[in-house]
Amino acid sequence: MSQINVDVCIVGGGPAGAMLGLLLAQNSKLEVMVLEQHQAFQREFRGESISQGTVAIMEKMGILDKLKEHGFLQLEGLAMYDKGEKIFSVNFHDFAAEHKFTIDIPQPVLIGAILEKAQEFPNFRLQLGASCIELTEQDDQITGVVYREKSGEKFSVSSSVVVDASGRYSKIRSKAGLQAKIEDFKRDAVWFRLPRPSNWELTTRIKVDGRHHLIILPTYPDTLRIGMNIAKGEYKELRKKPIETFHDHVCKLEPELEGIVQENIRSWSDTVLLDIFTAEVPQWSRDGLVLIGDSAHTVSPILGQGVNLAMQDAYVLAPVIQNYLEVQPQTVIPQHVFDQYESNRKELISFVQNFQADQERDLMAETEEGMENRRIKMSTLNQSPMKIELATKMAYGIFMEHAVNAG
């Protein structure tokens, strides 16, 4: 088996892995390798909304201009409607910081821009079509990985640290003996795309009626990405019903989609199921290994936080790796070095997870009383000064301080 030696081996070229690769290649002389099992980054219905805090990171890293060249949508706010009445809204123009808007851009474009920039640095190496199949260990320390190419040929990589950025179904995590508490939500989501009417405002809409809701996201360049909740495990049964059942359901929640949904969703094959669960991982690291992104914390899709948390993890972790290896090159990074990164990130992530769980409970209210409470809660929050504080924390994450002080 051929042997490769690097300082940092990153498994997974999603938003978390790509971003970490770029940060390390750009700011240090460390040899960095990203292994990605797919040959290309084509992926549909993934996080496409990049929140304000992550836009700030993009600008710092010189990627925002590349994204501008491609084009993206700027989302100007968010609004929630209950039975057609607007009960809650946030206008992003009200944020004090420079980057006020969420941007919407296809994930392959985002990852492509990050990796293209990373490849400008000679210490960065990307291996596509490379599936990590094993971790190598010595004296209880992780010392590298084995990966297999499509041809079947295997390679052994040795590194000072393996970063598991392999996403929500990470196998690396379990191979390392790190357990995840998986919690299924009461619902799944059916995602679909429709052409966006020309007069549609650039705002995320949440349309609620009783136990049902739609999340409608204006998506680059000219579509709407829509998620409809269904009961957990119901998709298989639903698919046996005529597609008109689906049309009626969607139009009841959003009458403005009448005609468009019938014309564009001809069968259930035009929809995609998102299995909704969260993963909480009590311990994110071992000697020689650390987790980032969905592998460390899979969150619910509420308020599109997954991509942002993943990329912000990379931003916080990169200097930790860099500082350690500059002083102690070519040694396995001990677990305690990651303690601060882990506790720092867990604080924000548990805030996001608790907020999402609260929203999830409200959206899935089953009694009339629960639905009325949801309405009162959102209308009250809408009038409260806490609204902008809460929205700022969700939008800016690690750049919260900067966002608050910018005004």
Q: What is the DSSP string of 362-406?
A: HHT--SHHHHHHHHHHHHHHHHSTHHHHHHHHHHHGGGHHHHHHT
Contact predicate 265/194, CB 8 Å: yes
Min CB(399)–ligand FAD separation in Å: 16
CB of 307 to ligand FAD, least distance (A): 4
Q: Which two tokens stand for residue 59?
A: 């600008």
The distance of Cα 104 from the centroid of its chain, to the nearest Å, equals 13
Residue nearer to ligand FAD on the CB measure, 120 or 149: 149
Q: Which is nearer to ligand FAD, 12 or 53 (CB)?
A: 12
Contact 181, 30 (CB under 8 A): no
Contact 238, 246 (CB under 8 A): yes
Closer to ligand FAD by CB, 106 or 167: give it. 167
Q: What is the DSSP string of 77-119?
A: EEEEEETTEEEEEEEGGG--SS--SEEE--HHHHHHHHHHHHT
Nearer to ligand FAD, 272 or 364 (CB): 272
- Cβ-based nearer residue to ligand FAD, 306 or 397: 306
Q: Which residues bind ligand FAD (CB under 6 A)?
A: 11-17, 35-38, 45-49, 131-132, 165-168, 171, 191, 274, 293-294, 301, 304-308, 310
- Nearest approach, Cβ of 132 to ligand FAD (angstroms)? 4
Shortest distance, position 298 Cβ to ligand FAD, whole Å:
7
Residue pair 303/222 in contact (Cβ under 8 Å)? The answer is no
Q: How far is the CB of 331 from ligand FAD (least distance, A)?
A: 25
Q: Give every CB contact of residue 346 below 8 A, 6+ residues apart in sequence.
A: none
Least Cβ distance, residue 381 to ligand FAD (angstroms): 22
Tally of CA atoms within 13 A in the half-sphere of 334 that contains its CB: 3
In the complex, least distance from residue 193 CB atom to ligand FAD, rounded to whole angstroms: 12
Which residue's CB is nearer to ligand FAD, number 160 or number 278?
Answer: 278
228 neighbors 214 (Cβ within 8 angstroms): yes
Q: Whose Cβ is closer to ligand FAD: residue 34's or residue 371's?
A: 34
Q: Please report, for residues 6, 34, 38, 140, the alpha-carbon distance to residue 330 in angstroms, rounded to integers and kept in the order given.
A: 9, 18, 29, 17
Nearer to ligand FAD, 220 or 375 (CB): 220
Q: Rounded to the nearest whole angstrom, what is the least distance from the CB of residue 196 to ligand FAD in the complex?
A: 16
49 near 307, Cβ under 8 Å? Answer: yes
Which residue, 259, 197, 252, 198, is CA-closest to 228?
Answer: 252
Calpha distance 21→124 (Å, rounded) = 7
Tokens read off for 285:
């690291």
Give the nearer residue to ligand FAD in terms of CB position, either 307 or 371.
307
CB of 114 to ligand FAD, least distance (A): 11
Nearest to 275 by CA among 191, 365, 181: 191
Minimum CB distance to ligand FAD, residue 366 (Å):
25
Record the tokens describing residue 53, joined without a space: 């805090």
Q: How far apart are CA 13 and CA 110, in angstroms?
A: 11
Task: In angstroms, give the least distance from the CB of 242 to ligand FAD.
Answer: 25
Q: Which is nearer to ligand FAD, 46 or 186 (CB)?
A: 46
Q: Would you say 14 or 253 has its CB closer to ligand FAD?
A: 14
